[in-house]
A and B are shown apart, each in its own frame.
Chain A
Amino acid sequence: EDKVVQSPLSLVVHEGDTVTLNCSYEVTNFRSLLWYKQEKKAPTFLFMLTSSGIEKKSGRLSSILDKKELFSILNITATQTGDSAVYLCAVAGSFFGNEKLTFGTGTRLTIIP
C-alpha cells in the first residue's frame, strides 16, 4: 500500500523565521510528488516534482525531491502570517495505467506575528 509520511505534524514559528517541512514516501511506480497548501478547506497547488535534485522555486517557497532516499522538503523563508496553513504532500503512483494520488496527513504551520 502506498504511504506518505509528513513531519513535523505541527510547527509554530515566529514571523521571519525559515521553516523546512519534510515528506517521505513509499509508492509503487512513482510518477511525481506534489505539495499543496490548505487554508480553510480547498488545497491549492504549490509544486509538482518529478526529477531528483532540481529545485522548484516560487517566491519564498522552494522544494526539492530525492528519489533515491524517497523524500522531499518544502522550505519557506522569511515566513509571514499568511503562510499559516496545513501543507499537504501527495505522491502520484501509476496504477494499472492510471495515476493515483496518496496524501500525507499534512503539517500544520502556524506563524506568530
Chain B
Amino acid sequence: EAGVAQSPRYKIIEKRQSVAFWCNPISGHATLYWYQQILGQGPKLLIQFQNNGVVDDSQLPKDRFSAERLKGVDSTLKIQPAKLEDSAVYLCASSLWAGDTQYFGPGTRLTVL
C-alpha cells in the first residue's frame, strides 16, 4: 500500500515570498491533516479535512495560510507571504476516518530566509 506522498521535500524561500505544498493521502482515507513542526517541538495541527470539507482550522493563521482539498483527495497548503517564523517541517497525515490512526508523509522542510 502506498503511503502519504508530499512534495516538495525541501523548499528555501525569502520572507514575503509565496510557497505551496502538495499532499496525496493514502487511497481511501477520508480525513487529511496538515501539521506544522517547528524544530524541537511536536507537530501542531493546522487544519483537518473530512473529504473536501474543513473540520478544524482553529490553529491556521488565516491571514497568510490557506489550504484546500477540492476533490476530497489531494490537498494543497499555501503560505502567502511567508515570514521567518514559518520555517518548519510541514507534515501531511491521513486516516481512514477522523479518530482512526493517522499515517504521516515524509514532510516538507521549509526554510524562510
Contact = CB atoms under 8 A, between A and B. Distances in A.
Bin chain A's interface residue count: 20 to 34
Interface in B51-107: 55-56, 89, 91, 98-99, 101-107
B42 A98 contact: no
A85 to B, nearest CB: 13
A44 B104 contact: yes
A31 B89 CA distance: 27
Contact of A42 (B48, B55, B56, B105): B105
Contacts of A44: 104
Contacts of B89: 41
Counting chain B CB atoms within 10 Å of each CB, the highest count among A34, A92, A101 belongs to A101
Contact of A98 (B41, B44, B55, B91): B55
Which 3 pairs, one residue from A and one from B, show the smallest C-beta to C-beta distance? A103-B42, A41-B107, A99-B99
